[in-house]
Structure formats: C-alpha cells, structure tokens
Structure 1
Amino acid sequence: MPSWAFRYTPIERLIDGCQPLPDGLELVSASIQSGPAGGAIDADTESDTVTATWPTVPSGGQAQVLVTAEVDPDLPYAADGVPMTNTATVVADNAPLAPADATMDPPRP
C-alpha cells in the first residue's frame, strides 16, 4: 500500500491543510506525525480527502501528516506506469494559498 507524508512549514499560523487524493487512489488512513499541540485530522474515505487543522503553528514551525492510500482495484491496466500527481494545499490566515505537487507512480493491482 503506498503511503507518503507531507509536511507543512507555515508562516505564523496555519488554519487548514487539505489534500484530496488523485483519481485512482483510495484513502485508507491519515494521522498527524508531528506538529504543535491541538492538531486535528479528518480522513474522509468517502471523498478521499485529508484535512488537517492546527489552531496555531509558530513561525518556522512544521507539522507532518502521514497519508496511506491504496490503488483503486478498478483502475484500468492501461494506467500502469502512468504517473499520478498528488497535490496538498495549505491555507493560512496571513499568507496566500500554498499548493504543492508531488508526482508518484504507485504499483497497480
């Protein structure tokens, strides 16, 4: 099962970080690996979206979330070897929207 971590490095305060999984992946779980106290996570397996929230993250601080997903069993064989782009977005109350992409090629069933 593929899993990956994404790390937030906010400026001052972090309101919300959201990661909808790319088509072809199904969310299994998500957990906060590190970060300031008060963090909360919503791993919505219906929409395959992970949302992590902290009331405050100090300047230069970081928060890390581990997301575990599996390849959709109905993904066509033709998709084997086709990279998927995963995007995480950070929203802060004192900075512009900050998306970041990572490309991966998870093993197909």
Structure 2
Amino acid sequence: MKGISPIIAVVLLLMITISMVAFAYIWFTRITTGALNQSQSQQEALQQQTGKKIVIDNINGNLITLRNIGTYSVTKSEISVFVNGVVTTITSGCDTLDPQEVETCMLAVSCPTG
C-alpha cells in the first residue's frame, strides 16, 4: 500500500494541473474574443461616422441641394440643417443619400439670401 500512495498523489496533482491550465485557456480565450469583438464593433462605428460626409451644392429659398461625398449612405434623420442658428426640419426629399448622389430637399423654413 505504501507504493500506491505516491502514484495516486502524482496522478491527482497532474489532474489538478491539467484542469487549471484548461480553465486558464478557456478564460483567456473568452477575454480576448470579447475584447476583439468590442474593438471591431467600435472600429466599424468609427469608419461609418467618418465615412458619412455631405456638402451643400445649392440653396434657393427653402430648397437645398445636398451631395453625399462620403462612402456610406446618409439618411434624412442624420442630417441637421441650421437656418439663422436654429435647427430646421427637412420636409420632403433626401430620405436616403447614397454615396456620390445629389438630391434636392425642401426645408420647413426658407433660407435668407446673401
């Protein structure tokens, strides 16, 4: 019986060591996967924000012509137009501006000339 006890102790120590290594591997894998997914989603959001660019081509009364010079589509809800420092709404047109698209929109307020 004296010869079996050290063998059992070694087997138990090996099992404990293997289970600790497996636990550490699984834990590190989950941590790195979570961090990778979070950084990818943040990078995609940043690319989309920087890829949405519009310019005003023309203003005539309450008609405004917009051009999407970015690489992503821009929806009407993402566009803010200020007339005399006050936000005005787009009443018609410009529902979605695709990249390189030009569209004329109608504002709720007329823009002053000059």
TM value normalised by structure 1 = 0.31
More helix by share: 2
| Higher Cα radius of gyration | 2
Q: Which has the higher contact order (CA 8 A, sep 6+)?
A: 1
More strand by share: 1
